[in-house]
Chains A and B, each alone.
Chain A
Amino acid sequence: MGSSKSSLRHIPNAQELIQDTGFSAAHIQRLYERFDLLDRDQMGRLRVPDFEAISHLAMNPIGDRIIAAFFSPGKDTVDFPSFVRILAHFQPTDDNRTRDSSGKEPYNSPNRKLQFAFQLYDQDGDGKISRAELLQVLQEMLGMQVTDELLQSIAERAIQEADLDQDDAISFDEFKKCLEKVDIDQKMRIGFLS
């Protein structure tokens, strides 16, 4: 842990990040050190191989998908503010903030969390989870463990369950309806220590 990275002064836009994301100064400092540790070539930005080097992430069936969630479309590097903003989705909801500095909903509101989860499925960003996209996720989570036919039938059932307007795809509202009984805050939350 180097001293040169230990002060908030070295972190760009630290105050803004603290306000936007709800992380404390101590959290931001820790996350910056983590960012710096993962940044192997020390360019101040993370690349896909930097994420792939994390063993537990490489073991995760949807690891590649999670990594892709950090990168905005068309970009192949992640800077520190974007890194923190993505992680902010997994803050606990119960923190009394209703609006961030730009007037939008805070990152860790249940709605934003659900949106983030939706984006994980909806890779092409067209606002709907198509059958093909669902199949892809199932492929990743089950790998070689089930036959193709079983995969197809599982995907079929899932779409039928969730697709209420019968357009053969799952929209964000249908997604929300599907998960309305799930305690999103608890399931999409990381216990940051302070």
Chain B
Amino acid sequence: MEDLWSVALGLLQLWMFVVVFLIMLPAMNGLSLGVTGVYIQILVKILEWATIRIQRGRQERPSVPGPLPNGIIKREGGSMEQEMCELRSSRTIVGGEFDLSDALYFFKKGLESIVDDEVTQRFSSEELASWNLLTRTNRNFHYISLRLTIIWGLGVFVRYCILFPLRLTLALIGLSWLVVGLTIIGLLPEFSLRSWLSEMVHLTCYRICARALSATIRYHNKANRPQKGGICVANHTTPIDIVILANDGCYAMVGQIHGGLMGIIQRAMVRSCPHVWFERSEMKDRHTVTSRLRAHVAAKTKLPILIFPEGTCINNTSVMMFKKGSFEIGGTIYPVAIKYDPRFGDAFWNSSKNNMLSYLLRTMTSWAIVVNVWYLPPMTIEEGEDAAHFANRVKSAIASQGGLLDLAWDGGLKRGKVKDHFKEEQQKMYSSIIVGQNDISVCDEMR
């Protein structure tokens, strides 16, 4: 028994040594021992081998379904006018008349959208072009070859038994450091170095957390980094976005006060640094929110505010409508594009499928988080431009930089229904085919 205890103690000491000296301390100072870099390179080699192996395997066994990154169906046919006129010309219908075949067009379009639509797929994880050896993205791939299965099994062992405990330890250390450190600073009297100290604590904590996720972050165009008194705006994929951005600068967070663990962290944060937390009731009142944010921005010495205008997490293949509220505050907007590499782990938080805890579990048992962050040049609202138009301009800039699809749909569609005026537009188009202006149908004009 004694021996067992001393062995266990020895292991624990070794473990803590590794964690503190080889990971935590370099992380806090922004240094890297290069281990993660090597790890990522090895992973890339393995994944490339796996891809080739799977392609070969699929040729031999065609029953395994391949990935369809462009959707389940191929949409044929042209616009409503083209399709309808084709339908009608085969029946020599004169304009101004309805035909029973007209409904077939809407019928087909409706069924196509049931099978595959542009919006719903953005609220679930992106489909990969090949398997990345994670259990969660498995589609019968492990039947392809024995070697693949073995590597997969090894991967499971490494991720769950070696990497996960390491990451968990780091995360716990990081978070407790944040709470303890900030509470202490909050108790200190106001003196000039206080804000610098609080920034240091924030930064080191986020760096530890980033290591806890095996995150490799590449920042581009650091010259455009958000300045004090500005507003930083980025596309939203996961709560981890905050950790990613805060690794390279301090931001004032905006958000709702939560209960529980998140609440404790939030309260500790606000004691030492002017974050902007709202009660749930205040969030509903747009005026309160806007005026508080405006006051924060006007004081040019305060940290830049971090806002995610989409309002909800999207799966990192596209950028959805930016809510114009953030763009009505004034001040300079610093857009940031964040793009995760999906091969190493799916960063998207599907809040309807996973709660926060299971999401963190999944993220900490992925291979790694590899992310590119682009700082775009600052933008301000132009003369005579309204907030919605400005929001769209910023959104397009972010989308094109990050290689994401620029969609006009509202992220709120995750939970709500689409507005009626889209239906009216469809009805208008159809009526112009049947009735048209001055009784001349669009089809007659097309002939």
Residues of A within 8 A of B (CB): 1-3, 6-7, 25-26, 29-31, 34, 37-38, 40, 51-63, 66, 87, 90, 117, 120-121, 137-138, 141-146, 150, 154-155, 157-158, 161-162, 170, 175, 178-179, 181-183, 187-193
A191 to B99, CA, bound (A): 25
Contact of A188 with B100 in the complex, beta carbons under 8 Å: no
Does A26 lie within 8 Å of B120, measured CB to CB? no
Q: How far does the alpha carbon of A181 sit from the alpha carbon of B91 in the complex, in Å?
A: 6
Minimum CB–CB distance from A129 to chain B (whole Å) comes to 8
Q: Mark B370-413, 1 if CB is under 8 A from A, else 0.
A: 00000000000000000000000000000000000000010001
Flag if A57 contacts B423 (CB, 8 Å): no
* Interfacial chain B residues near A162, Cβ < 8 Å: 100
Q: Which of B131-139, B214-222, B322-330 contacts A (4 or more CB under 8 A)?
A: B131-139
Q: Are B110 and A142 closer than 8 Å at their CB atoms?
A: no
Pairwise interchain contact A178-B100, C-beta atoms closer than 8 A: yes
Q: Pick the residue among B87, B119, B427 that contacts A182 (CB under 8 A).
A: B87
* Residue in B99, B108, B117, B427 whose beta carbon sits within 8 Å of that of A55 in the complex: B117
Chain A CB within 8 A of B125 CB: yes
Indicate if the CB atoms of B423 and A157 lie closer than 8 Å: no
Q: Determine whether the beta carbon of A142 is less than 8 Å from that of B431.
A: yes
Sample of 8 more A-B contacts, CB < 8 Å, known A53-B413, A54-B117, A57-B117: A30-B65, A51-B114, A55-B417, A56-B119, A59-B418, A61-B106, A158-B100, A161-B97
Check A141/B430 contact, CB under 8 A, given A30-B72, A58-B417, A190-B112.
Answer: yes
Known A-B contacts A25-B63, A141-B427; A121 and B103 likewise in contact (beta carbons under 8 Å): yes
The answer to whether A62 touches B72 (Cβ under 8 A) is no
Complex Cα gap A182–B72 (Å): 26
Pick out which of these stretches binds chain A: B41-49, B73-81, B268-276.
B73-81
Could you tell me the distance in whole angstroms from the C-beta of A193 to the nearest C-beta in chain B?
Answer: 6
Chain B neighbourhood of A141, CB < 8 A: 102-103, 106, 427, 430
Closest B-chain residue to A66, C-beta based? B110
**Residues of chain A contacted by B135 (CB below 8 angstroms):** 3
Which residues of B lie under 8 Å from residue A145 when comparing CB positions?
Answer: 424, 427-428, 430-431, 435
Contacting A142 at CB < 8 Å: which of B100, B105, B113, B430? B430
- A-chain residues with CB within 8 Å of residue B425 when the two chains form the complex: 59
Checking A58, A150, A161 against B423 with a beta-carbon cut-off of 8 angstroms, the contacting residue is: A58
Q: Are B65's CB and A25's CB within 8 A?
A: yes
B427 and A143 within 8 A (CB): yes
* B17 contacts the other chain (CB 8 A): no
**Residue contact A143 to B423, C-beta cutoff 8 Å:** yes
Distance in angstroms between the alpha carbons of A161 and B75 in the assembled complex: 32
Q: How far is the CA of A51 from the CA of B418 in the complex (A)?
A: 12
Q: Which residues of A contact B70 (CB under 8 A)?
A: 193
B157 is an interface residue with CB less than 8 A from chain A? no
Q: Is B71 located at the chain interface by the 8 A CB criterion?
A: yes
Task: Tell me the bound Cα distance from A37 to B101 in angstroms.
Answer: 32
Contacts of B124 in A (CB 8 A): 1, 37
Contact check, A190 vs B115: say whether CB atoms are below 8 A apart: yes
Contacting residues, chain B, for A61 (C-beta < 8 A)? 106, 423, 426-427, 430
A190 to B140, CA, bound (A): 27
| Known contacts A3-B137, A61-B427, A188-B108; A56 and B100 CB within 8 A of each other | no
Asked whether, in the complex, the Cβ of B114 is within 8 Å of the Cβ of A57, the reply is yes
* CB-based contact B120/A54 at 8 Å: yes
Residue of B nearest to A158 (CB): B98
Contact of A56 among B103, B104, B113, B435 (CB under 8 A): B113
Residues from chain B with a CB closer than 8 A to the CB of A29 are: 65, 139
Residue numbers in B under 8 Å from A38 (CB-CB): 114, 120
From B97, B107, B108, B110, A154 is in contact (CB under 8 Å) with B97
B281 within 8 A of A: no
> Is B59's CB within 8 Å of the partner chain A?
no
Tell me the minimal C-beta distance from B419 to chain A in angstroms: 9
Specify which chain B residues have a CB less than 8 angstroms from the CB of A187 in the assembled complex: 87, 101, 104-105, 108
Minimum Cβ distance to chain A for residue B259 (Å): 25
